[in-house]
Structure 1
């Protein structure tokens, strides 16, 4: 896809509920006529797509097909920026599915290819027919990562890194790094001085190293216990972590032991003006554990909605900061 070619369209940007405000702030100076949705934005785009493709707060983009023929045939539309011939599929959208397939194939020369498409025509509850643009999906823009079963989603990771407010040269630690999604995102979005990750399982330590190496993000990853970090007191500026929710990973009973111990470590290793951003769905236990940890406080909570889950990212700072 030619991201530097001028393209115009009404676009739907999909994101994780909870990340919409961050997406809006990122694109409001780039686009016109923006409308918020619980799961994203619709906006008018007119210009090169590269500035949009660089935004980390949306998972995918689609063209709103208010007029299929006009949008498909627009020489300045998004489809004209795709590699030719355009490869597409039409999802089950009703009786018009086959007519749409034939129109796009016969009139515009697109190639119907359900297994290797750059355009997927489907129906959105609010916008009607839309065409998802394959090259604008998050993994196509920023690269695929090996994932652990409960890895942080890329959009949530981006919001967490933004909440961490990492400054150039600061020491950043993920004490429960899994496959390293947060470490990769922190290394790409900010300019940390030292980036460190720990995990109890060797398989995820190795996966994190592979992900970081593939993205050329300098980081030291080692086997380590989040409840007993091998770090000196007051040595960390920023700490980010996706904690075990007690569902797919760990258990609530395990969290009753882990959370207080981890938070004591957070208090110990953070510098005076340090900041931690911690994601969990075991919310009541987490809040109670913070309240019982002398010297820490929650200053912000952002709730996300994911399939079958409603985790929150908590920003935790020292009471003396």
Structure 2
């Protein structure tokens, strides 16, 4: 059974890798015409990003490379482009050189790359930057903190110290309001066969860009970023449309293993949610998955739970901040679920009651009706044990969760016990023949062993190999089979039978050997 599952995973991954739609990447020619927009995506989720782009932007031509999606659009689409939820960063292609041959001499190649700056339409680039500027001025708390840290490090390197916080805050205000160009060049090199390195290319190309445009250089507090990509056989210059990655958009209170909002959205996309469905994240952590679901699929009920008190506090903080402060003790998100004051969300005890989910006085999942009506993105939050869920049988439509990898959280030894117990309990609360489960994990062996044990209750529909912070993880889409859940059924029964048969065969062979030796 396990071998069949592994073969299924490899076959599906090979099939999806062939579904690439080729398009011609357009260079920037004149302002207002069609241009090529690029988007970076978590490796493995390119096809879900294409699904969102084609639906929201009515795009026909697109191209997929590893970790990137290219499509054609105009400046009028910038507002819609910034509303995409499956992509991390956006950029506008200025010029792309295909079949580019790099010179073996470093000095010659640096001059060639630098001379490219005088061939590019920088006036058009500045016009597109001005059109895009209103959509990326507003920063959340996390992004402002990152910008302060960046400036602080730069001052420490250059001056041996750093300015006060008041000076940093005034710089942020200038950054948000100023329309003067302060730029930097960021280079990304693919492979190591080129004769130049990324820092060398950044330095040389940035100097030539300043000579060609007269823009100010600011490496820490910049508002225009020029991207230079040194590929294996290509060279690309692009304009960044997002100063910060979009995967930080909902989360301000981070945990040890916070899931990116973009990955959470892509996982929800795989499940093809329908209006009226109950979507549950039994191990929600900081609440990335239920928050993304509540923002995009408002017709569904989104419930998140965890067995950690610290995780519950972070969920309250993130839900509260995204709802304008409502839901976190009536504050603005600074007080993370303290116990002294009454919270809009009530954390239920870690108990299991087969009669249904622990309900408050108003019949809600831990949220007062009065406060719930005010929430822009309502998320139900309950504290529970994922192996003893407080749900009635056959009540959950979809489960989307990020399982413990066994790295920073838990261990692979614990996963061998946790995964099958969780899936067994999830089969009880899921609707027979209808429910879906989308699970992200790095511990593939424990996951596949669990699927093998519970093949009567769950069938593997799809496997997506993804890159999570450099780890080769996998997303498994499971479907609930029509096999009825039986209370007290031992899901390890078949495995135990195999072990007994194996031990019986082994003991028989040992006995035969002893008989031959007349012992």
For Structure 1 versus Structure 2, the TM-score category normalised by the shorter chain is 0.7 to 0.9
Task: Write out per-residue CA displacement over residues 152-183 of structure 1, whole angstroms, 9 at most, x where no aligned residue.
Answer: 22222111111122222221111100000011
Cα distance 1:76–1:27, how it changes in 2: closer, same or farther (>3 A)? farther
Give CA-to-partner distance per residue, 1:229-284, whole Å, 9 cap, x none. 12221121111100001112110001011001100111011112111111111112
How many angstroms apart in 2 are the aligned matches of 1:114 and 1:78? 21
Q: Return 5+ residue gaps in structure 2 as ranges.
A: 1-30, 96-115, 135-178, 187-198, 324-376, 484-519
Is residue 2:270 matched to residue 1:244?
Answer: no
* 62, 66, 79: which one aligns with 1:38: 66
Q: Label 1:240 to 1:120 Cα distance change in 2 as closer, same or farther (>3 A).
A: same
Which has more helix, going by share of residues?
Answer: 2
The verdict on how the C-alpha distance between 1:71 and 1:182 changes in structure 2, with shifts beyond 3 A counting, is: farther
TM-score, normalised with respect to structure 1: 0.87
CA distance in 1 between partners of 2:415 and 2:299 (Å): 29
Structure 1 counterpart of 2:172: none
CA contact (8 A) 1:118 1:133 kept: no
Deviates more, 1:66-75 or 1:282-291: 66-75
Structure 1 residues 160 and 122, CA gap change in structure 2 (3 angstroms):
same
Q: CA deviation at 1:194?
A: 2.7
SS of the equivalent of 2:44 reads coil
Counterpart contact for 1:61–1:133, Cα < 8 Å: yes
Is contact 1:7-1:76 (8 Å) kept?
Answer: no
Q: 1:57-206 to 2 correspondence within 5 Å?
A: 57-66=86-95, 70-74=120-124, 77-81=127-131, 82=133, 84-91=179-186, 92=199, 93-104=202-213, 106=214, 110-126=215-231, 127-135=235-243, 137-139=245-247, 142-206=249-313
Give deviations 1:51-80, integer Å, cap 9, x for gaps. 211221210012223275644311895213
- The answer for unaligned runs of 5 or more in structure 1 is none
Normalised by the size of structure 2, how large is the TM-score? 0.56
Is residue 2:381 matched to residue 1:221?
yes
In structure 1, which of residues 276, 280, 283 is the aligned counterpart of residue 444 of structure 2?
Answer: 283
* Counterpart for residue 311 of structure 1: 473
* Greater strand proportion: 1
Aligned length: 312
C-alpha distance 25-136 of structure 1, shift in aligned 2 (>3 A)? farther
Deviates more, 1:78-87 or 1:177-186: 78-87
**Match among 81, 84, 98 for residue 52 of structure 1:** 81
Contact 1:89 1:101 in 2 (8 A): no
